[in-house]
Amino acid sequence: MTSTSCKTSDLGFSFGPDSGAQSVGSQGGIGVVLTNRGGSSCTLHGFPGVDIVSKSGTHWSLARQSKSVGTVTLKPGATASFEITYLPFDSANSGGSVAFNAASLLVTPPGETHSATLKWDFADVMDQSGATHPGSYVGPVVAGNGS
């Protein structure tokens, strides 16, 4: 039996354990866990599409990390995850930077066109939406919940 690509409607989305910046001024890591809530196995391959959405509705599409990707097969109830790395905004050491006042995260699984929204409960992000090599980016989908 061949697995089909996981559909957004068959996936549950949540933040993983130990998500967020570890200390002021350091890059933070946010794990996003995808759970197969469908009745059959499905696959995920590559990178999700991830937009950070500001309180004013501005979208910032995160760059994808330069990393090899694989295919993850999810049986019903199984999990996969991906990591978002971000630079938290520190007003005391902003160096002239501004904050991207994040309100939510828009996640589109690999191979899908429909998104899911998660509420952003982490620090504001340093706005590098126009940077060539931003310090905020998304990694590929991997097996497990990232813990």
Domain that holds residue 93: 4-143
Out of 18-32, 38-52, 65-79, pick the least confident: 18-32
* Burial tier of 34 (Cβ tally within 10 Å: 0-12, 13-18, 19+): buried
What's 50's domain CATH number?
A: 2.60.40.10
Helix (H, G, I), strand (E, B) or coil at 45: strand
Q: d(Cα 17, Cα 115) in Å, to the nearest integer? A: 22
Average pLDDT, stretch 76-105?
Answer: 86
Determine if the pTM surpasses 0.75.
yes
Q: How many CB atoms lie within 10 A of CB 44?
A: 28
Query: Which residue from 116, 125, 112 is spatially nearest to 47, judged by alpha carbons?
Result: 112
Please check whether residue 108 is in contact with residue 49, taking contact to mean a CB–CB distance below 8 angstroms.
Answer: yes
Number of folded domains in the chain?
A: 1
Q: d(Cα 46, Cα 92) in Å, to the nearest integer? A: 37
pLDDT at position 89 is 81
Query: Which residue from 39, 33, 41 is spatially nearest to 12, judged by alpha carbons?
Result: 33
pLDDT at position 94 is 65
pLDDT (tens digit per residue) in 122-132:
888 888 888 88
pLDDT surpassing 70 at residue 78: yes
Radius of gyration of the chain (CA): 16
Average pLDDT, stretch 85-111?
Answer: 85
pLDDT at position 24 is 58
pLDDT at position 20 is 64
pLDDT at position 22 is 56
Helix (H, G, I), strand (E, B) or coil at 36: strand
pLDDT at position 43 is 96
